[in-house]
Structure formats: C-alpha cells, structure tokens
Amino acid sequence: MPVNLSTPKQSVLLPIAGIKLGIANAGIKSIDRADLVLIQLDEGTTTATIYTQNAFCAAPVTIAKRHQHETSPRYLLINSGNANAGTGEAGLQAAQDCCQAVADLANSTSNAVLPFSTGVIGQQLPVSKIKQALPDAYQNLTTDNWFAAAHAIMTTDIVAKAISKQIQIGGKTITVTGMAKGSGMIRPNMATMLSYIATDAAVEQSVLDNMLLNASEQSFNRITIDGDTSTNDACVLMATGKAGNDVMTSGDTPAARALYKVIADVSQQLAHAIVRDGEGATKFIEIQVQQGIDTEECRQVAYTIAHSPLVKTAMFASDPNWGRILAAVGRSGIDNFDLTKVAIYLGDICLVKGGEPAENYTEQKGQQVMDQDEITIKVTLDRGDANDTVWTCDFSYDYVKINAEYRT
C-alpha cells in the first residue's frame, strides 16, 4: 500500500476559473473505469510545458510539441491504458486524428489540442474507442472535475494524486490546483510522468515557463522509483488570468515569488505522492547529500544510492546493511573523492565517519531507524557548500510482480 498517502477528498480540490475538465470511459484497457480526460482552457490562458528527454518519445509528445509551436493550446486530451509510444507513423497519425476529433467537437482547430497518453508501450492507440467516448467527455466539461480526472489518468497507481492551495496576492485570492499520475517507470529527467497544474493568476509566458522549469527541478526532477525515464513524461502549468491580479511580467517581484512558492510546493507534494505510491513501495526514502563541490555531484551521489537495487531491497527488508549505502557512495563516480572526509547517516545515527565505521554505532540503533516507514539517508562529503536531495522508495516483491504482470 502507498506509504502514508491517501486519496484526496473531492471537497478539498478547488476549481480553477477558466479551466474545465471532462471525463469519459473509452474502454482502452478496462471497461470498469474512466480513462479519458478532456481539459478545456479559456481563451487567453498561458500554458507552459516540459516533456520527456527520452529519445524514443511517444507520438503524443511529438504532436503536442508541434501544436504548441503553432498556436496557443485550448484543449488537452489525456488517455490512460495506452502510451502510443514506439508506434511509428501510425502512432503519429493516431494522435493527430484524436486531436482532430476534439477540434470537430469543439469547433476549434486540431493544432489547438495537445494530446497526452500513458500506459503500455508499443501498442497502437485505439482511435475509434477514443472518438466514440469523446462526446461524453465534452458534454460533462465542468470546473469541479479534478477529482474524477485524477483517477482517470491513473495506470498502476493505487492512489489518485491531487492537491489545491490558495494564497492572497495584491488583494486577490489566487488558487493553484494540480494533479499527477505515476507509480513505475519513474525517473522523470524533466518533469513527471503526467502532471497538470493550473492557477487562475495572470502570468506572462516567459515568467510561467521559468516557474515550471524551476519548480520541476526541485520536485519532479528529484524523484525516482526505478531509474527508468518514460517515453511519455509531460508536465503542464496553466495560468488563466481569471483571478484579476496584475499580470506578472517578471519573476523577481513579491507577487511572482509568492505564486512560485505555492506552485513549487504543489509540485513537490505531487512528486512525493508519486514516490509514496511507487509500485510495491513500503518505505519513503529521502536521500540528502551535503557539502559537495556543486549540486551536480551531490545529485550524482544521491541518485547512485537511490538506484541501487541492493540499497532498495535492504530498505524493504528493514535490514541495516549500511555497507550497501557505503558501496553506492564509493561507486558514484565523483572526481578526486577523499574517503577520509565522508560521513554517512541513517536518520540521526552516524554509520560512517572519516571513511570508517562510526565508533558509537550499534546494530540496534540502525535497526530502530530501518523499522520506520519514512527514512532519511544523509551523506556529507566535506568538499564544498553545495547540497541536494532526492526522494525514492524501496523495492519489494510487489514491484517485480506488478511489472511482470503489467500486460496481463
């Protein structure tokens, strides 16, 4: 079960003026739940996006990039159950056909539609099923469908991931609501599997772009389940301007900084929710690397620990086998590594100091930390002033089972 994570209450997810969401069941993978989401953006909405860096990016990613270059988005179309990735020219045409179907319904243009897909890779998208379900999604477009939408975009997720926050800026109430999906094939290397965050604030395009980029760097770009970067990762930040605030034309103002703080907080909570709902996860693990020369080497050490199957399985077993952490730090590949300066902590318990076993460490102390379901690993390098943090989870029997049976 997810680590200290529960489904958000529908009542706490606040609507965003200028954003409507419609839900339908296309029966792409299952007839038992909704799997199609249509998001309508009012004219004038500013939209920022980040996409996967996987060279085998999915067809919808290619089409979405192309459309966004041509015009401002008015609709987002999301399906779960099929990634439409590794599908060649037929996949590109399928994504385009779905966009055209939305345009026909909405009396819009196909390039005003951004498509997004998640699910099994290498299978052709069932366009006919999506076209048949689209009228239902279009008919139930409403501002208060965030709860249903967060469920509809799930694949192997157990818990829907969504959050809302409000803040007062310049006498105006600003709302931020976001949702995300992701549970496996998680090392975003850009943003997240699929994430959609909206605000009713008025924000100029370049400012919104920077807000998304910076927020993602400190949230979605700092999580990993299994080290696999998906073909379909996408993160979207929308600003409708309906709150009536003065347009934020610079990120270096009190108003913009206040809004960014909320967006960054929403992004980080959604990112943490993805880790807490990692496939088969039983522990939420924070890895802090401190006193590095720069953040890049701190991140390098942190991800080496986070991606170690030996560390992750020890975490699942609640086994204080700290030699696995030490070994991961040692093979992280940073230059001119001085082992005599390294210290490693499990929670508040020092495991290694000066490159040697800590004098006061006992197995009992280590076991007390490992028995918890939220664990912090801290490494100090004593090389500089840089710090970085990565979040991950353990590897359990269920991770193997879920992925072994993913298509069955």
Contact status, residue 187 vs residue 290, Cβ threshold 8 Å: no
- For 71-110, b where at least 16 C-beta lie within 10 A, e where not — what string? eebbbbbbbbbbbbbebeeebbbbbbbbbbbbbebbebeb
CA pair distance 235, 49, nearest whole angstrom? 6
Q: Which helix (H) or strand (E) holds 167?
A: strand 161-169
Q: Could you count the other beta carbons within 10 Å of the beta carbon of residue 254?
A: 9
Q: Which residues pair with 175 in a beta bridge?
A: 166
DSSP secondary structure string, 84-128?
A: --S-HHHHHHHHHHHHHHHHHHHTS-GGGEEEEEEEETTS---HH
All residues at 6 or more sequence positions from 11 whose CB lies less than 8 Å from its CB, including other chains: none
SS (H, E, C) 259-279: HHHHHHHHHHHHHHHHHHCCC
Sign of CA dihedral 7, 399, 29, 187: positive
Tokens representing 354 are 């000066």
Rounded CA gap, 222 and 136, in Å? 37
Amino acid found at 358: A
Cα–Cα distance for residue pair 97/315, rounded to 1 Å: 46
Q: Residue 349 in 3-state DSSP?
A: strand
Pairing state between β 194-199 and 172-181: antiparallel
Catalytic member of 118, 192, 224, 229: 192
Active site residue 47: no
Report the alpha-carbon distance of residue 78 to residue 2 in Å, rounded: 24
- Rounded distance between C-alpha atoms, residue 302 and residue 400, angstroms: 23
Active-site residue list: 192
